[in-house]
């Protein structure tokens, strides 16, 4: 009951922040974009949205710490930590492509117990708590059932600043595009994962990601009946910088396709 109340309060905070992002998108000026690194964009919208999230979530759970993308808070919680991405899909936002999201997860010790991904432009709130099902808004969702790779649509992301493994990755893409309904690259890992959870995609994989990109979405996939791992089927996908999330049958086939051309660090 307490966790459900925290979920409700967190969704309220997220939707308020999403309203700010939505308003700023109308008149956003590309000249205000900064570069954290090569092709790694950030704007005042990311920073202000994160500040608003930290303030709002501190009211929801005062003792919790934060793992944040923009470094707004360095507070570490003894038991609870929020893992937040204030604007997942910044490059889409900057270019006016309407697919980006707010991603918030709550971690208790080493376990995620709450995950929320709010896709702003479609007003879709994907959410789940430990021990319960996954939802989009108030409709229960689950991953695709009894589907093999040959009947699947798969999501991925392309490397934008770490090209050391790009040849192997391209080989994986070639393999999968020949064995599935196709590949899609939306530009927000959190949305990709949410779409796996509700069966729009049958699987998603990407490398060079951070905890705030995947923590909430991966948890929602699991609560929707999906399987999540690294590329070599280990469980450190939140901090391991590579993730494979899929319907159970498709997960096994994707693991096989990836393992032929990939060597995890």
Q: Are residues 16 and 136 in the same domain?
A: yes
CA pair distance 223, 225, nearest whole angstrom: 5
Query: Are residue 29 and residue 131 in the same domain, yes or no?
Result: yes
What is the model's pTM? Answer: 0.94
* Annotation: binding site: 69, 85, 87-88, 213
Q: Are residue 109 and residue 169 in the same domain, yes or no?
A: no
Give residue-wise pLDDT tens across range 132-173.
Answer: 999 999 999 999 998 999 999 999 998 766 677 788 899 999
Q: Provide the residue range defining the domain that includes 76.
A: 2-141
Instruction: Give the helix/strand (H/E) hosting 85.
Output: strand 80-88
Instruction: Report strand pairing: 111-119 vs 124-129.
Output: antiparallel
Within a domain: residue 264?
Answer: no
Of 106, 141, 176, at which residue does a domain stop? 141
CATH code where residue 27 lies: 3.30.540.10
Domains held by the chain: number = 2
CATH number at residue 176: 3.40.190.80
Q: Is the pLDDT of residue 122 over 90?
A: yes
- Residue 2's pLDDT band, with cuts at 50, 70 and 90, is confident
Q: What is d(CA 207, CA 261) in angstroms, rounded to the nearest whole number?
A: 13
> Is residue 75 domain-shared with residue 8, that is, in the same domain?
yes
Question: Which residues belong to the annotated binding site for Mg(2+)?
Answer: 69, 85, 87-88, 213
List all residues 6 or more positions away from 57 whose beta carbon is below 8 Å from its beta carbon: 10, 13, 64, 66, 82, 84, 104
Write out pLDDT tens, residues 10-34. 999 999 999 999 999 998 877 667 6
Q: What is the spatial distance between Cα 227 and Cα 225, in angstroms, rounded to a whole number?
A: 7
Domain boundary residue, one of 82, 107, 141: 141
Judge if 190 and 96 occupy the same domain: no
Last residue of a domain, one of 119, 141, 163: 141
Q: Are residues 95 and 206 in the same domain?
A: no
Higher pLDDT: 146 or 102? It is: 102
């Amino acid at each position: 009951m307490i966790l459900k109340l925290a979920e409700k309060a967190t969704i309220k905070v997220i939707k308020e922040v999403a309203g700010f992002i939505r308003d700023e998108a109308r008149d956003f000026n590309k000249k205000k974009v900064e570069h954290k690194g090569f092709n790694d964009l950030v704007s005042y919208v990311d920073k202000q949205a994160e500040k608003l999230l930290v303030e709002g979530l501190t009211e929801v759970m005062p003792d919790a710490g934060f793992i944040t993308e923009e470094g707004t808070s360095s507070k570490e919680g003894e038991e609870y930590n929020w893992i937040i991405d204030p604007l997942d899909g910044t490059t889409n936002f900057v270019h006016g492509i309407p697919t980006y999201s707010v991603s918030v997860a709550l971690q208790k010790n080493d376990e995620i117990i709450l995950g929320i991904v709010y896709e702003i432009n479609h007003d879709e709130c994907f959410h789940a708590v430990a021990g319960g099902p996954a939802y989009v808004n108030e409709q229960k969702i689950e991953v695709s059932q009894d589907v093999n790779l040959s009947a699947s649509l798969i999501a991925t992301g392309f490397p934008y600043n770490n090209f050391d493994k790009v040849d192997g990755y391209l080989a994986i893409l070639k393999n999968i595009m020949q064995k599935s309904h196709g590949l899609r690259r939306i530009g927000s890992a959190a949305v990709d994962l949410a779409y796996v959870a509700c069966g729009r995609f049958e699987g998603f994989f990407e490398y060079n990601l951070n905890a705030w990109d995947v923590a909430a979405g991966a948890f929602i996939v699991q609560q929707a009946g999906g399987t999540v791992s690294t590329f070599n089927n280990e469980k450190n996908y939140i901090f391991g910088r590579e993730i494979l999330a899929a319907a159970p049958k498709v997960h096994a086939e994707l693991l096989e396709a990836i393992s032929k051309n990939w060597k995890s660090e």
